[in-house]
Amino acid sequence: MKAPLPFPLKVTSCLLMMGMMTAASAKEDETSAEPEMTIAKLFKASSIDVSGYLDAGYIGHNQMPDPNVQVFDTSKNSFSLNQASITMSQTPKQGMGWLVDLIAGSNAGYLCSYGACSGNNLNQYNSTMGSGGNFDPTQAYMQYATGPWTLIGGKFNSLSGVEVPNSVADTNITRSILYGHSPFTHTGVRAVNALTDATTVTMGVNNGWDQVTGMTASKT
């Protein structure tokens, strides 16, 4: 016949069992707890790409610049927030996609298209260009990709020249004189065919140069 276990041992065993049950319960609560959702995680889960930049600087001229020639750097002596930009996009290689590109700052009034900004009623050839305010919906389009073809409809960057509205993608902080007298964006439809990795053919029909609302009946 076995002797009964000492009382202190029974208490120790009971405490050990309670500790194991508490640990198991905590682990279960940790497993069942919902993961913390942040904006970054939300965009990542939705396969949405988000990027942005700030462009600020100082520009000085030894004489007052002519706005008919120098479209962007029209102040003689000034610090300026040129651009604060954010781009959101979901552009898969196959299927439906979209892109929205917004720019705020002193460059916005020059980039803004006719019909997109209050006060901007003329194209960039007019000396009043730049009255479009400090906000510009530079790009906003839908696209559909299938095989080598990509179809785009909306407002998108021009193919003219090597400079683009995104100042980070340009070589210099200042813009060339030629860029100030070229189209910045187009509104219309575009079809792109990737013939090879190095060659694409692009076709499109647009309202014209920097015109969300067409100024003429003809198209470009």
| 32 in any annotated domain | no
Q: What is the rounded CA–CA span in Å between residue 157 and residue 192?
A: 14
CB 86 within 8 A of CB 69: no
| 4 in any annotated domain | no
Q: What is the rounded CA–CA span in Å between residue 212 and residue 81?
A: 25
Domain count, the chain: 1
| 104 in any annotated domain | yes
pLDDT, tens digit, for every residue of 120-151? 544 443 433 455 678 999 999 999 999 999 99
Task: List the single range of 11-15, 75-79, 94-98, 163-167 with lowest mean pLDDT.
Answer: 11-15
| 10 in any annotated domain | no
Concatenated DSSP letters of 184-197:
-EEEEEEEEEE-SS
Q: Which one-letter DSSP state was computed for residue 181?
A: G
Whose CA is closest to 166, among 89, 218, 76? 89
Region 154-177 average pLDDT: 90
Region 185-192 average pLDDT: 97
Structural domain for 111, as ranges: 49-206
Q: What is the rounded CA–CA span in Å between residue 108 and residue 103?
A: 6
| 115 in any annotated domain | yes
Is the pLDDT higher at 64 or at 133? 64
pLDDT at 47: 83
